[in-house]
Amino acid sequence: MPRVSVVIGTILALAAPPAALLATGCKEPAPPGTRVGSFALEGTLEENTCGQGFAPALSISFVAELRRDGDVAYWRMGSTGPRSQGTIDDEGEFRFQQQSSIDGWPADAANGIPPCRFLQTETIEGQVELAPTTSDAGTSDAGGPDAGASDAGVTPARVLSATNTIEIGVVPGFDCSLALVSAGAGGQFPSLPCRASYELEGATTP
């Protein structure tokens, strides 16, 4: 039975550049919105109910750029990857979601096996905020050389925390029951749909 092979972070890679740009060699348009920051993110696997059907790494790391235009947000892997569009509010809470289908196996009428097509839904949601900073403003050593010195004018880093969830289900109209362990046909999923999730943390890169 074929095993589902999906890549954590596909929300960062599904929106391929338009074919017209590739064919003509045109430069990519200027990025939309205002740059919130480029974040060096570390992710720790917190949950995996998919068993061996989808065995994600225990930890991940990548750099992602976050931009915004009003309440519209853009998420991009690195500085050259394609963008995904989502939402962001005045508190810095954001959400991105993208779906893709993955062929499991074709129909085998001779053996009475229906076709299988998996549905992967990936969601990244969290918040970006200013990192706490230590400022000397308003404090001094009486009469000392640093009297009145402060960190005023230093732009603090921004920190980002989010949950990256990947859910694997079945496209309506398809039958992937043979992928279940209970089917006894080499399936590796305890149940469908199932999910894996990471907790992401990181700060803006220099």
- H/E segment holding residue 103: strand 93-105
Nearest one of 121, 149, 132, 102 to 5, comparing CA atoms: 102
Task: Report CA torsion sign: 188, 190, 192, 193.
Answer: negative
pLDDT (tens, 9 = 90+) of the chain, 206 residues, equals 444 443 334 443 333 333 333 344 556 567 789 999 999 999 999 999 999 998 889 999 999 999 999 999 999 987 777 789 999 999 999 999 999 999 999 999 999 999 999 999 999 999 999 776 554 444 444 444 343 434 444 567 899 999 999 999 999 999 999 999 999 888 999 999 999 999 999 999 87
Q: What is the DSSP string of 129-154?
A: EEPP----TT---TT-TTTT---TTP
Q: What is the pLDDT of residue 28?
A: 59
Cis ω on the peptide bond leading into residue 132 (within 30° of 0)?
no
Helix and strand element counts for the chain (H, E): 1, 8
Q: What is the pLDDT of residues 155-199, one digit of tens each?
A: 678 999 999 999 999 999 999 999 999 998 889 999 999 999 999
pTM of the entire structure? 0.76
Could you give phi then psi for residue 24, rounded to 5 degrees? Answer: -95, -15
Q: What is the pLDDT of residue 4?
A: 46
Kindly report the number of other CB atoms within 10 A of residue 137's CB atom. 10
Query: What would the two tokens of residue 168 be?
Result: 């694997």
Phi-psi category of residue 111: left, alpha or beta, with phi > 0 → left and psi -120 to 50 → alpha: alpha
Tokens 């009003």 -> residue: 70
Find how far residue 47's CA is from the centre of its chain.
15
- H/E segment holding residue 117: strand 116-130
Could you give phi then psi for residue 36, rounded to 5 degrees? Answer: -80, -40
Q: What is the pLDDT of residue 132?
A: 67
Q: What is the pLDDT of residue 133?
A: 56
